[in-house]
Amino acid sequence: MTTQKSVNPLGPGYEGVPGEEKRFRDVFRDTLRAEMIRDEDVFLMGEDISGGFDKETKEPLDAWGGPFAATKGLVQEFGPERIRDAPISEAGFVGAAVGSALTGLRPVVDLMYFDFVTVAFDQLLSNAAKSRYMFGGQTKVPLTLFARSGAGTGHAAQHSESFYSMLAHIPGLKVVVPSDPYSVKGLLAAAIRDDDPVFLINDKKLINLTGFVPDDEYVIELGKGRYTRRGDDVTLVGMSYTSIACQQAAEMLATEGIEAEVIDMMSLSPFDEDILLESVMNTNRVVIVDEDTPRASMASEFAAIIADKAFDYLDAPVKRVTAPHSPVPYNKGLEDAFIPQPADIITTVRKLLGRE
């Protein structure tokens, strides 16, 4: 994957803030490291995350940090007690992580591909998400899970899903979707420090995205969205990769005299209902862009909230741009057609405004 440039890492008003341009994947690893230094109860668990050990010396090998290099080098610094390779049994090691969280540790679980969530679904649904409720608030489950979602990288149907809504449907489980290096730093730190289970989803298309990241420690409040562009003609709602697609579409629409407002939702459960309604009340038109398939998706949920609470402000129907109701194809051309692209967003906006 080639290195991309973030369209709008932070927006105006951050001039003079100490920081630098960094890749998404590097910021993710650096944040993991910082949180492990800050709190000795934080440890990592997952498949192939350490890289193994020399059979004779028992010393860590040059760890590759898994297929996405998310934990590269961490085992050399923290050792095998805190960087724990797990067997190929997601249900098993997610269950172990839930148990360790209930006893006071702060496990961080690498599930590799988002599709593998289904293998551990009972542990997430029945144990992680419900324990605090079932014990009347006497327990905490400070568990963080992360995995990579999204099509567009040739990983085929069983390694390319974006069904965020399946997790957002579960009461007691928080779901966040960073869209750039800035947001992944703040959301990952917040997730690890939270006393409830949080699932952080990284789109594979963002791994090599670069953007400005402040040097200072910070967290982004879970459940909040942000504006990445202000405008008056139409609201574009994105999440994860589609926030970047919305930003790119907005820049191209501006050359046609159409000023789009862009919202990056960042959190899907809970989500920022206020920013969604505020923007729609400002622009009176909305296009929701979601890489998930359309049935019972986050796009459908956002559309329902707008129809319920901002209907009188709408000058046109709520429009959704999503993937088709289909598994992700492997063929490169079909895969590109599967993903919501800036061109699809632009066409939808033009129709909404009567420009096409």
pLDDT tens digit sequence for 236-272: 999 999 999 999 999 999 999 999 999 999 999 999 9
What residues are labeled active site?
90, 159
Residue type present at position 217: E
Q: Which domains does the chain have, with CATH numbers?
A: 18-214 (3.40.50.970), 226-352 (3.40.50.920)
pLDDT, residue 51, reads: 64
Query: What's the pTM?
Result: 0.92
Q: 16-25, 62-71, 136-145, 332-341: which range is least confident on average? A: 62-71
Per-position DSSP letters for 224-280, written without gaps between them: --EEEE--SSEEEEE-THHHHHHHHHHHHHHTTT--EEEEE--EEES--HHHHHHHH
pLDDT, residue 103, reads: 96
Tell me whether strands 267-269 and 319-322 are parallel, antiparallel or unpaired. unpaired
Q: Are 228 and 23 in contact (CB under 8 A)?
A: no
pLDDT tens digit sequence for 169-207: 999 999 999 999 999 999 999 999 999 999 999 999 999
